[in-house]
Structure 1
Amino acid sequence: MIYLLDTNAVIAIMAGDEGLLGLLKRHAPKDFALSAIVVHELYYGAEKSQRRAQNLARIEALQFAVLEFDRDDARHAGEIRAGLATLGTPIGPYDALIGGQARARNLTLITRNMREFERISGNLSASRVSSTKRGNGLTRKAPPSCPSAASPRRRARHGW
């Protein structure tokens, strides 16, 4: 397993996003997983939706492995949430849990919400997915703990 899919990435896959579908086609199914937290968010959204039955069926049809949330995941999530709160840049609780799980397991998080996840320090590797017909639809972003991999402009903007 290499990739952990964020909730917005799964929603984009279900909507037929070409960039993400291309990424899925280039890798083995076993390379992708969902956090149990993501599955919770998907069910919550389906339960609130006007097309409840249709959306629940789409979630049930997903064939990604589901990773249970364990103590090590919780420790990383707690560190992330407390660290960002201390800096005055809090992160949403579910994003802290998902980011903590990805970091604890050394998985690349596939998301469309880089603004939230790029602030996480440590070994979290996150990738932004773009909706494009060209390229692979995946743009790698270095985590803040690896400033040398960021562009000079970005390093200057963030004081790295």
Structure 2
Amino acid sequence: MIYMLDTNAVSNAAMNRGKVRETMLGHSPSNIFVSNIVLAELMYGFAKKSRPTLQATAEALLSTMTVLDWDDSVSDVYPAFRVGIEAKGRSLSYMDMLIAAHAHSIGAILVSSDAGMHNALADNVVDWY
């Protein structure tokens, strides 16, 4: 099984909150991915609020994972994925929808503690917190 961590999962792991980091260590690094959209959100957070120690910890953590680019294959999956979520009467923020579609496009389980993700994605999301 492969996993893609969302922004709050990476943040929780970097801050050693919950059991995210511990659970990550129980999986092969080759099965843990992060979308470059998550990377952009993290970089925005570091630019907005200077926290050098947390940034260094997060960067060290990210260096152990594969960061995947959003490419044409994800763009091809996104429309039907989003329509499917909305057809169920569910919604996500735009960034969360992009991250969830990225996970879906590679057949990954999304790791998130966001209740909205769990509501919208049901069986395709897990909370390691």
TM-score band w.r.t. shorter chain: 0.7 to 0.9
Does the CA contact (< 8 Å) of 1:81 and 1:96 recur in 2? yes
TM-score if structure 1 supplies the norm length? Answer: 0.68
Q: Report which structure shows greater RCO (CA 8 Å, sep ≥6).
A: 2
Q: Is the 8 A contact 1:74 1:97 kept in 2?
A: no
Q: Report the CA distance between 1:86 and its aligned residue.
A: 5.3
Q: Aligned residue for 2:97?
A: 96
Report the count of equivalent residues.
127
In the alignment, which residue of structure 1 is the partner of 2:57?
58
- 1:95 aligns to what SS in structure 2? helix
Aligned to 1:14: 14
How many angstroms does 1:84 deviate by?
3.9
More helix by share: 2
**Residues 33 and 66 of structure 1: is their aligned pair in 2 closer, same or farther, counting only changes over 3 Å?**
same
Q: Deviation string for 1:65-111 (max 9, x for gaps)? A: 10111122123222233444455543211111111111111111111
Partner of 1:40: 40
- Aligned match of 1:3: 3
Which stretches in structure 2 are left out of the alignment for 5+ residues? none
Give the SS at the match of 1:91: coil
Please name the residue that 2:74 is paired with: 73
Distance 2:24 2:120 in 1: 26
Change (3 A) 1:46 1:101: same
Are the counterparts in 2 of residues 9 and 111 from structure 1 also a CA contact under 8 Å? yes
Contact 1:36 1:66 in 2 (8 A): yes
| CA pair 21-80 structure 1, distance change in 2 beyond 3 A | same
Q: Do 2:18 and 2:128's aligned partners in 1 also have CA atoms closer than 8 Å? A: no
Q: Which residue matches 1:128?
A: 127
What TM-score, normalized to structure 2?
0.82
Contact 2:30 2:66 in 1 (8 A): yes
Q: Tell me if the contact between 1:91 and 1:116 (Cα under 8 Å) persists in the aligned partners.
A: yes
